[in-house]
Amino acid sequence: MKRIYLFLAIVGAIIPYIFYFQFIQVEGLNFSLFIMELFGSKAASGFTADVLLATVAFWFFIFQRSKNPTAPRPFLFFILSCTVGLSCALPAYLYANEKHANNVT
């Protein structure tokens, strides 16, 4: 599973940035327009809300899990979720968790 998680983390970093770069090429670094387009339609708003809520749930999970000494430290994955997205942060966390679990046993 480790390899699958690593692959998904890499793909989860590349795919969103393809779209981000396309937006930047057309609109530049227009952050307010970027936010407006995230909520530009009811479908986009629903998808954006879903991802934001899932990201917050992920944050609670990784910080709660970090109390366990065998769990990965959460800060890198928190930063990944804020800068790249949940599509990268979640599989990266699962990869680190598997790697860490294999090193402990």
For the stretch 43-65, pLDDT in tens is 999 999 999 999 999 999 999 99
Asked if residues 58 and 81 have their Cβ atoms less than 8 Å apart, the reply is: yes
pTM confidence score: 0.88
At residue 105 the predicted structure's pLDDT band, cuts being 50, 70 and 90, is low
How far is 33 from 38, CA to CA, in rounded Å? 9
**What's the pLDDT band for 69 if we cut at 50, 70, 90?**
confident
DSSP code per residue over 44-91: HHHHHHHHHHHHHHHHHHHHHHTTSTTSPPSHHHHHHHHHT-HHHHHH
42 CB burial (10 A radius; 0-12, 13-18, 19+): exposed
